[in-house]
Every structure is written in C-alpha cells, then in structure tokens.
Structure 1
Amino acid sequence: MTAISAEGRTSRAGQALVALGLAAGPVVALGFTRFAYALLLPPMHRELHWSYAQAGGMNTANALGYILGAASAAFWARRSGGRSAFLWSLAISAVALLATAATADLTVLLALRFAGGFSTAVAFVVGSALVSRIAVGAPQRRSASLVAVYMAGVGIGVVISGLVVPAALSSGEAGWRMGWLLMGVLAVIALVPAWLGARAVPEASGAHASTLPAAQLRRLGPTFVWYVLFGAGYVSYMTFVVALLRSQGLGASTTALFFVVLGLSSVVATLTVWGRLCGFLRAGLAPALVAVLVFLGVLPVLLMPPGPGAALLSAVVFGAGFMAGPTAATVIARRMLPHAVWTAGIALLTVAFSVGQAVGPLLSGLMSDGEGGIARGLWLSAGLLALAALAALLQREHPAS
C-alpha cells in the first residue's frame, strides 16, 4: 500500500485498501477477543463448572481492561506514535489469545481477559483515529465511508469466528482450548495487513491533545450516555445469546450459522448503509436509529417460538445494526471535535462504551442465574437499548471549533 499524502490525494481505491488493512484491528479486538467468547462460553461454562455470573464476569474483566486501555490510548499514541501503538497493542492481543488456550484457572483466565481488553482497546481507539486521518479534508460522507470499512472488520472477525470456532469445538473436551489457540494464530496473521495499513497513514502533525476539554466533553453529553447504555445492552446479548439458543435446543451447527449470518449482516450493512447514513444524519439521529434497530434485533429470540427462524431473523436484524454504534460514535467525534482532539474524543467515547460493556454482562449474568434464566437477562439488554435510543435523541449538532 502506498503512503497517503497529507493532502489526501490517494485514489479512492487506495484509501479503501488502507482502511481495510487497518480493519485487521477490529477483526482481532472485537471479532476475536470479544465476540468469539460467545461461541466458546457454553463449553467453558459446562466443562469448567461456572455459574452464569462467573461467565459474565469474564466479559466484565475484559471490559474493565478495555476501559483502562481506551482511557490511556491517546497517551500511548502520543508517546510512541499512532502506528507503533496500534501494532504493538495488536501483538499483545494476539499473545493474550494464545495464552488463554493454556489454562483452565479462573483467576488466570480473568487476568488474560483483562489484559486482552486493555490491549485491544488501545488498538481499536488508535486505529479509529488512524482511519479518520486517511482522508483529512475530504467530504464528510467520504470519511464516514472509510470509517465504515474499518468497522466492517468486526463483522469479518465474527464470520471467521463462526466458521473456525465450531470446527475447533468438534475436536472434543479440549475444543475450547483449540478455539482460543486458533483465534490467537489468526490474530498473529492479522498483524500483516495491519502493518501494511498503518504504514500508509502519516503520523499526526502538530500538537495533539491527550485529553478532551470540559466544554467539548459537555457538548457530547447525550452521546456519552447513549454509548454507555448501548454498550451495556448490545454486549449482554452478544455474551449470552448463543447460550440461550443452545438452551432452547438448537444444535452447534445452527448456532454457528447464526454467528456467521450475524457477522455477514454486519459487514454488508456497515459497508453499504451505515457509512453513508452516519455521514448524512446530523445530531443524535444516527445513534438513535442504531439503538432502535439493535433493540428490534433482540426481540425475535425472546418473543418468537424457539427455532432456527427466530435465531436467524435476530442475527440479520441485530447484525445489521450492532457495529453501526462505533461507526456513528467515530463519525460524531470527527464531525463535532477539532482535529487535534480526535484521538482523545474517540478514546473517551470508547471508555463510555466500555463502562457499559463492563456492567451489562455482569448484571445480565446475575439475572440469568435467577428465575427466568437467560431470557430474563436478555430482556435487560432490550430495555437498555431502548433507553439508549431515547438518550441519543437529546444530542444536538455542534460544529467543530
């Protein structure tokens, strides 16, 4: 990939290739480290004799690490440069995935989930800032489309997980270990396109802040509230939906198909719809629309008769919206904040997202351990997403200044 000039004169195709290379970050950060756990949870829950609260605690540990990683991402980017911070954090994420395959100790697994959350947050935030710099000065819709290409990496990671993890689980009792091992190997391979993409983006020039001024923080207040609620609602579903489907009698092949369809739906919608829509809609309309769509995606597995039809409908609707949240947040930060605080703004929004992701699975897991089972925990997910939509509507448009 050729380097991008400061004036952003690289061809549209070249810019898209750079964004696709950077998309290896979300493939690892969310597709592997975060969401593959949903497929691995049922056998780990069964073979390691966990409660649902312990299972949710694994994702909470990951989210706590994600909070600290997101909060410090701007610092690491400023200290070592965006490209180095992006690549080193991805390398650490790959090591954490590989190490997860080597132990069954809950404490060690929690520590590895925490470390993986920290490193992937740095990669995701810094990668978001890098992709925002591919086309500085280009029309807003063009930049939003490149952000969408980057975010499509999550769906790509989900598809890969849905194909690879079930094959690993078929290997026997140690299948969950093989699943983590394969995710780690693929994360190492993903470093190649990540490096190619990162080296094509110039380092930021001029003074770049590692914190967001209070006035700019306040103007994005409703977006921060939306992102906390959205993070809590969507990740609770992603953590426990496969366990719900398995408890309803769906087999491994159906749940794997569910995961693949969800990922494909995310890729297609992110690339064809959300990049343009988030660039076109102003204020909090795009985040509100995202939350409503994801809310609707939760309902089929709760209201329809259990079966493949309900599962696949949920996968299509939920998948079409869930990664539009980070797309919308990144576009809002780029549009409403000065260039000098893009990384800091994206980092703080990701912290808000991570707070929700830390609290959501734990609360959902506690509710799932009680009367009503996993479905009760997923109703919490739906309620949080509805509140997120209402919060987003309070956001007003503020031009960057």
Structure 2
Amino acid sequence: MTAISAEWRTSLVRQTLVALGLAAGPVVALGFTRFAYALLLPPMHRELHWSYTQAGGMNTANALGYLLGAASAAFWARKGGGRAAFLWSLAVSGAALLATAATAELAALLVLRFAGGFSTAVAFVVGSALASRVAIGAPLRRSASLVAVYMVGVGIGVIISGLVVPAALSSGDAGWRTGWLLMGVLAVIALVPAWLGARAVPEANGPHAATLSAAQIRHLGPTFVWYVLFGAGYVSYMTFVIALLRSQGLGASTAALFFVVLGAASVVATLTVWGHLCGLLRAGHAPALVAALVFLGVLPVLLMPPGPGAALLSAVVFGAGFMAGPTAATVIARRMLPASGWTAGIRRWPAGRG
C-alpha cells in the first residue's frame, strides 16, 4: 500500500509539472498577447494619435485572427502534430510581440495584431487539448485539476503584464515599445518550459482527430452558445476596463495594481476552486455559476462610486471567475468526446473570445 501511495504521489507531481510547463502557453497567448493590450492601449492611443476607430481596429484585428486561429487549430494539430503546433504557434506569438515594438505604422500593427491573435489561438486551443491528455485514463476530477493548472497560466501572464508594462511605460514616450519588447523576450523564454511540458504528452490517435460528428456538434451546441456570449463579455471587459478606470480618474499605479490583483485572484481561484468544481458539477451547473460570478464582478466598476475600492473589488470577483469559463468548457469537451476529438471540440470554445 505504501509503495502504491508513493507511486501515485510521484505520478501526480510529474503530471502537475507537465501541466505547469504547458501553462507557459496561456501566459503568452492570453496574458501577454491578448490582455496586456488593455494596459498599452491608452499610451498607444495618445502617442500615436489614433482615433477611437483606429484603436478599436487593433482589437478587431486581434479578435479576427483569434477566431480564424481557433477555427483552424485542429487542422494544424492534425497536420503537424499537437506538440509541434503548440510550440510553433508560441514561437510565432513571441515574434509578433517583438515585431510590434519595432513599428508605429498602423497597417503593420494591424497585421501583427492579427498574426498574434491567430498564433495565440492555435497555441491556447492545442495546449488545452494537450493539458486534457496529461492524465488519460485518470478520474475526471484529477484531469480537471490538471486543466486548471494549465489555465493558471493566464492569471500568471496577467500578473506579469501588470508588473512589467507599467515599469516599461515609466521609461518615457516610447514606453509602449519597451512594454511589447519585454513581453516578446519573456515569450521567447517561455518556449523552454512549454517544450518540456509538451514533449511529455502523448499525441492524439484516431481517425477523427480533427473533426466532430453531427451528433457530437449537436450535443455541444448549447455550451458553444454559452461560451460565445461569455467570451464576448469577458474579453470586452478585459480589453477596455483599464481605459474606463483611467477615465474615472484612477492613476497608472492603481490600474497596475488592479491588473495584478485580478491575475492573482484568477490563479488562486482556478487552482483551489474551479479545478475541483468543474470536475464535480453536472448538467451545465459549472458554466451557469461561472457566468453569474463574472457578471457580479463587472458591477462594481459600473455601479459603485469610482475609486480604488470599486476597482479592486471588481478585480477580485471578476478575476476569481473569468478563467473558470475555459476550464469548464475544456472539461465538458473531455467528458463528452473521445480523446481523439478533444482538440476539435475545444477549438469551438475560444471562438467566443473575439
């Protein structure tokens, strides 16, 4: 019994480390490429003399790239293998971040935001499928906990962005360039743990690794509709909340603290609560609970008197729930589909992020 217990603990530690390595994907894909733009948008809007239409166009380009990347993620995983698709897309994401620091031309920035959205969608979707396969054959609760470890990368990326970007912006008028440059360098470094994690996960097998049957799509339909609405809401909040807080008179230091607190709340809640709940709840209870919590998290910055208290309360409540959505969706795909169909199933969820 003791030998079995020791072997189980060793296996659990190994699987957790693999999931942590894979978590470098969402650190880059969402923490850097997607959400850090909220911190960089105000100075870029000011220094580059953008109109609101041009500023919004940057976000639209990224969202369009993300939609197309999510839609084609299963194809890339089937064509080159999940591990290769995951790592190459992360490499492209890092290159796009570095290149963003090198130009102020709107057309070039739009192309780079599109490319970054496309590559990070592939990385996040394929990485989610890899995380689902870290413990094939294990109970759903254990697999859900490992998926949650993977999703923690988003919160870690948000925390890093909240620390790195404000420091970069303090360097002067070109601080937004420094911000993109630093995140690009960190993205390149993140390839090391991502590679270590990916090489430990077996490739998916089966004839339907890139497609779903009509019956499977029909069963996943309600969850897909939920995630489209959920994604549209939480991405809008994450993109524009910093601009809202700055318009309410909050300073740069408070905005940075807001980002760090939001990321920390996401890390803690994803690890301690959602990894367990998503593996236990049935019949759509997890998505409903997540949506309710995220809705409550938005209300303080909209209804309470503007100030640090409302901002930080929103950061805690919203941060505790927003990454539970992808966790729940990934667990649902794992529960309802065979292992060979997980990438094709999971790739349907991130379309709601745009």
Alignment TM-score > 0.5, same fold: yes
Indicate whether 1:254 and 2:270 are aligned. Answer: no
Residue 141 of structure 2 aligns with which residue? 141
Deviation of the 1:119 alpha carbon: 0.6
Q: For this pair of structures, how many residues does the alignment match?
A: 347
| C-alpha contact (below 8 Å) 2:205/2:340 kept by paired residues | no
| 1:138-169 per-position Cα deviation (integer Å, ceiling 9, x unaligned) | 11100000000000000000000000000000
Given that residues 78 and 208 in structure 1 are in contact (C-alpha distance below 8 angstroms), is that contact kept between their aligned partners in structure 2? no
1:50 aligns with 2:50: yes
Structure 1 partner of 2:305: 305
Percent of aligned pairs sharing the same letter: 86
2-structure distance, mates of 1:38, 1:54? 15
**Following superposition of structure 1 onto structure 2, how do residues 258-273 of structure 1 map, counting pairs within 5 Å?**
258-273=258-273
SS at match of 1:295: helix
Name the residue aligned to 1:68: 68
Q: Residues 112 and 270 of structure 1: is their aligned pair in 2 closer, same or farther, counting only changes over 3 Å?
A: same
Decide whether the 8 Å contact of 2:277 with 2:286 is kept in 1. Answer: yes
Q: Which residue of 1 aligns with 2:88?
A: 88
How far off is 1:10 after superposition? 6.2
User: What's the counterpart of residue 4 of structure 2?
Assistant: none
Deviations 1:30-87 (A, max 9, x none): 0000000000011011112223332222122111111111111111111111111110
Distance in 1 (alpha carbons) for counterparts of 2:187 and 2:132:
23
Q: CA deviation at 1:206?
A: 3.4
Q: Is the 8 A contact 1:97 1:183 kept in 2?
A: yes
| Cα distance in 1, alignment partners of residues 283 and 65 from structure 2 | 30
SS at match of 2:185: helix
Q: Is the counterpart of residue 98 in structure 1 residue 95 in structure 2?
A: no
- Check whether the contact 2:85–2:122 (CA below 8 A) recurs between aligned residues: yes
1:312-351 deviations in whole A, cap 9, x for unaligned?
0000000001111100110000001122211100112223
Return the alpha-carbon distance in structure 2 between the equivalents of residues 200 and 340 of structure 1. 17
Q: Following TM superposition, by how much is the alpha carbon of 1:9 offset from its aligned partner in structure 2, in angstroms? A: 9.8
* Residue number in structure 1 paired with 2:284: 284
* Code of the aligned partner of 1:28: V
What is aligned with 2:5?
Answer: none
Q: Structure 1 pair 104/315, CA: closer, same or farther in 2 (3 Å)? A: same
Whether the 8 Å CA contact 2:204–2:339 is kept in 1: the answer is no
> Contact 2:141–2:276 (CA<8 Å) still a contact in 1?
yes
Q: Secondary structure at the match of 2:277?
A: helix
8 Å Cα contact 1:300-1:310 kept in structure 2: yes
Could you give the per-residue CA deviations for residues 106-145 of structure 1, whole angstroms, max 9, x where no partner exists?
A: 1111110000011111111111111111111111100000
Match of 2:343 in 1: 343
1:220 is paired with a residue whose SS is: helix
Distance 1:238 1:55 in 2: 15
Q: Which runs of 4+ in 1 moved over 4 A?
A: none
Q: Secondary structure at the match of 1:144?
A: helix
TM-score, with length taken from structure 2: 0.96
What letter matches 1:343 in structure 2?
T
| Secondary structure of the corresponding residue to residue 154 of structure 1 | helix
- Greater shift in the superposed pair: 337-346 or 306-315: 337-346
Residue 333 of structure 2 aligns with an amino acid whose one-letter code is A
Deviates more, 1:326-335 or 1:49-58: 49-58
Map 1:190-229 to 2 at 5 A.
190-229=190-229
Deviations 1:241-268, CA, capped at 9 Å, x for gaps:
1011111111111100000000000000
Q: Does residue 315 of structure 1 match 2:315?
A: yes
C-alpha separation between the residues in 1 aligned to 2:350 and 2:47? 33
Q: How much does 1:190 deviate?
A: 0.3
Q: Look up the match of 1:79.
A: 79
- Is the CA contact 1:290–1:322 (under 8 Å) kept in the aligned structure 2? yes
Partner of 1:240: 240
Counterparts of 1:163 and 1:299 in 2: how far apart (Å)? 25
Whole-Å separation in 2 of the counterparts to 1:97 and 1:331? 30
SS at match of 1:165: helix
Q: Is the 8 A contact 1:131 1:146 kept in 2?
A: yes
Report if aligned partners of 1:56, 1:239 keep a CA contact under 8 Å in 2: no
Say which SS state the counterpart of residue 347 (structure 2) adopts.
Answer: helix
Counterparts of 2:202 and 2:12, CA distance in 1: 17
Whether the 8 Å CA contact 2:262–2:318 is kept in 1: the answer is: yes
Segments of structure 2 that go 5 or more residues without pairing to the other structure are: 1-7
User: Once the two structures are superposed, what CA deviation does each residue of 1:183-219 show, in whole Å capped at 9, x if it has no partner?
Assistant: 1000000000000101111222333431211111111
CA distance in 1, matches of 2:53, 2:285: 35
Partners of 1:312 and 1:155 in 2: how far apart? 15
SS, match of residue 173 in structure 2: coil
Match of 1:14 in 2: 14
- Gap runs ≥5 in structure 1: 1-7, 358-401
Specify the alignment match of 1:156 in structure 2. 156
